[in-house]
Structure formats: C-alpha cells, structure tokens
Amino acid sequence: MKYEHLGKTFNEVFRHYNATVNNINIHYVKGGSGEPLVLLHGYPQTWYAFRYILPELARHFTLIIPDLRGLGDSDIPAGGYDTATVADDIFLLVTGLGYDKINLVGHDFGGNVAYAYAASHRKSVKKMAILDIGFLNFNLANSPLLPQETKSLWWFPFQMVPGLPELLIAGREAVYLNWFFQNSSYIKNAITEQDLQEYVRCYSEPGGLAAGFNYYRALFDDMRFNEEQSKIKLKIPVLILGGEFSFGARAADPWKLAAENVQGLVIKNAGHYLLEEQPQLTLNALLPFLLTP
C-alpha cells in the first residue's frame, strides 16, 4: 500500500492499522485529534474515497476510516455481508479502540452500514451524515433506490445472481468499475486513472469481486432489518447530502422514515461520487453539521 501521491503531510498524519474483529482482519486508517468520527465508504470503493476531505476533518476529529468487510485491504470472509453484521464489525473496532460514542459519516453502502450501527447502538452515536443513498426498506415508493425513475437498476439483480457476475467480470475489473464511475459521475475526470487502479487493485484480489457483490446479495436481509429498526425512529441529528445530478434533494425524504431529525442538503455540480467530484463543497456541508454542539 503506497500512497506517496497523497503527500508527505497526509502520510505523516494518517497511519494504517489492522484489527481482528468477528474473527476477521479489518484494515483501517486513523489520524487527527478530537472527538471520534468514523467514515464508511461504499461500493465500488474503499477508505480511499475519503482522501480529499481527511486533512481538514483531522483538524477537528480523530478519524477512523475502515475498509468494510471483504473490501479494500480487509479480510474477505465467505459471509456476513448484511449491514447489521458489517456494522457490528465497525462497532467492535471502535469500542476496541476505546471509544463509546462517535459521529458517523457513510457514503453509498457505507450509509446503510452507518444506519445499522446507529439503529443497533442508539446510545453510541452522536450525529450521523449519509451521503447520496436512500433509506432501504420494503416500501420502495417511499424509499427510492434511484435518483431518477427512468434510470436502469440492471446491476442490482445482475450482481445478486450467485456466482455468475464474478466469472464474467474477472480480468475486466477496470472496465467494469470504470463504468460505474463514469456513468454515475457528473465530473467525469474526478476519479483519475491512478484512483481507478487503486480501486481495481482491491477488487481484483481473489474473492474481491464476490465480496462487493455479496453486499447486493444481502439487500433483502438489510431491508428486513431496516423495516424492523425503523419502527422506532432515530432521535439523533441526521444530515443527508445528495449530489445534484444523482439523488439530489430527494435523498433526504426516505430517511424521514428512519429518523426524527433529518436535514437535507444538495451538493451542486456533483453526481454520486460527491466525495471526489466536489470534496470542498462536501466538506463545507459536513463541518458545520458535525461541529455544532
């Protein structure tokens, strides 16, 4: 793992660690000082998705940025890809580091994991921010999976098929992952070739593709979990950020099914990958929310 291109200062502030939780190894990056803030990435990414906003956040918070189970440089177990289990990985990691109350930020699937964490450990989360993902439950009319009704969801059923997609995509990981980045971005060069290769490195590991697809294969388990947990809404402040050309303002609405105190903001000139397309605007939205007592 070499990240010289992120700069000497970055690599002095942030260090890489490994921890054993739930009988697997979880890789995480840690740095900064202050209250703990846990950042959870989505698919098809890793901790690296947060790279641009980490230095400023580290001035205010102790940052913990794990690679989710099966992804990045964490172990790739055969199962446990439902968000409740993945959230338990993160809870054990965080409490093992000595923190009993945290702030949470999650993008894409990381947002779903953040909700599972907050719902399972309601006294352990101070605030939560969700980046460009809708709340998943069985009432899909109120929980849109897509920013636009006309956009195809072909990859959901495709990636949920047991065993097949990894056979078809193996050796073509760069083409496949780049399709997501180009199709769901407004700023098409936000994820560079170097960035793409970092993500390809991880998803090309033996079992890496299957691990990513296993998050989709667990979606119905996640929906059942969310449906049950949302019977009692979260009381913590929740910020929902939607990329203007992705979920946009619609991102916040379904989360009102899960939490009482929901604020929504739109990140202008951004698609789904707002952390990389508009890192400064994303940071400008996150910091006031996270720093307000």
Give per-residue pLDDT as tens, 179-204.
999 999 999 999 999 999 999 999 99
Tell me the per-residue pLDDT of 121-157, one tens digit each, with 9 for 90 and over. Answer: 999 999 999 999 988 876 654 444 444 554 667 899 9
Pick out the chain residues at pLDDT < 50: 141-147, 150
Is 216 an active-site residue?
Answer: yes
Name the token pair of 75: 């172990």
Q: Which of 67, 82, 108, 132 is catalytic?
A: 108
What DSSP assignment string belongs to 161-203?
SSSHHHHHHTT-HHHHHHHHHHHS-SSTTSS-HHHHHHHHHHH
Q: 204 by DSSP, 3-state: which?
A: coil
Sign of CA dihedral 40, 42, 45, 50: negative
Name the token pair of 190: 């936000």
Sign of CA dihedral 203, 204, 210, 216: positive
Domains of the chain, earliest start first: 4-149+218-291 (3.40.50.1820)
Contacts of 135 (CB under 8 A, 6+ apart): 115, 143, 226, 230, 254, 255, 257, 258
Q: CB–CB of 85/22 below 8 Å?
A: yes
Is 107 an active-site residue?
Answer: no
* Of the candidates 159, 151, 145, 290, the residue with the CA atom closest to the CA atom of residue 226: 145
What pTM did the predictor assign? 0.96
Helices 109-120 and 219-229, axial angle in degrees (round to 10): 40
Q: Which of 82, 216, 222, 273 is catalytic?
A: 216
Is 16 an active-site residue?
Answer: no
**Distance (Å, whole) CA 124 – CA 119:** 10
Q: Is the peptide bond before 44 cis (omega within 30 degrees of 0)?
A: yes
* Of the candidates 37, 17, 250, 5, the residue with the CA atom closest to the CA atom of residue 126: 37
* Of the candidates 137, 113, 101, 87, the residue with the CA atom closest to the CA atom of residue 254: 137
**Distance (Å, whole) CA 231 – CA 138:** 13
Structure confidence at residue 281 (pLDDT) = 98
Structure confidence at residue 170 (pLDDT) = 97
**Distance (Å, whole) CA 217 – CA 210:** 10
| E strands, the chain, in order | 15-21, 24-32, 35-40, 61-66, 102-107, 125-131, 234-243, 259-267
Dihedral (Cα; 121, 122, 127, 133), 10-degree rounding: 70
DSSP 73: T
The conformational region for residue 194 under phi > 0 = left, psi -120 to 50 = alpha, else beta, is alpha
Structure confidence at residue 151 (pLDDT) = 62
